Amino acid sequence: MDYRTRLGLVVAVAALVGTRQAVAQEASAPAGVTPAAIATGDTIFHKSGLCYACHGTNAEGGVGPNLTDGEWLHGDGSYDTIVATVTTGVPADKAKKGIPMPPKGGSSITDEEVKAVAAYVYSLSHK
Ligand code: HEC
């Protein structure tokens, strides 16, 4: 096998691996993270959930941390962890930056709405 053939093979294999990774990533979106849940969550984030008030309209941070950067103070950024954090909030003694987050951000959204807003937050950091 000459150099060019080998190079061609390497490129072909790399392309294959790349495609498989992309497919795997799409397939790995957690069950609750559907386009419909993300759209509902977007509205909740900016309205009834009050999230925008502390995390900013673009969710890039304010009183509360940036939710778009893939860096997490609490948990690993998985959908389940986000649902848990939003449900319980961050009590004062667990707040890493000294400011607590009330359960559900102090809003009165339902558990179903928490799941939708968590799907939205998940989508922001898993593009
Ligand atoms: C009153 C202000 C406030 C509101 C309203 C609020 N948060 Fe927070 N949130 C915070 C603060 C402050 C923290 C980080 C606490 C710390 O320093 O550990 C936080 C942390 C988080 C985290 C964990 C971030 C990480 O890096 O691990 C998530 C996820 C989150 N909030 C989502 C939401 C969602 C969704 C809503 C709306 C339902 C919401 N928050 C409403 C203040 C708020």
**pLDDT 10s digits, 24-64:** 455 578 999 999 999 999 999 999 999 999 999 999 999 99
Per-residue pLDDT, 28: 74
CA of 41 to the centre of ligand 1 (A): 15
Cα torsion 76, 104, 91, 98: sign: positive
Has residue 9 got a pLDDT over 80? Answer: no
Q: Choose one of 33, 71, 101, 117 to mutate for the ligand 1 pocket test, by most ligand atoms within 8 angstroms of C-beta.
A: 101
Has residue 94 got a pLDDT over 60? Answer: yes
Evaluate: CB of 50 within 6 angstroms of ligand 1: yes
Has residue 8 got a pLDDT over 90? Answer: no
Per-residue pLDDT, 29: 86
Give the pLDDT confidence of 69-90 residue by residue, as tens digits. Answer: 999 999 999 999 999 999 999 9
99-114: average pLDDT = 98
Per-residue pLDDT, 98: 93
Give the side-chain half-sphere CA count within 13 A for 55. 25
Per-residue pLDDT, 127: 82
Q: 38 near 123, Cβ under 8 Å?
A: yes
Q: Calculate the average pLDDT of the chain.
A: 88
Measure the N-to-C terminal CA separation of the chain; round to a whole number of Å: 40
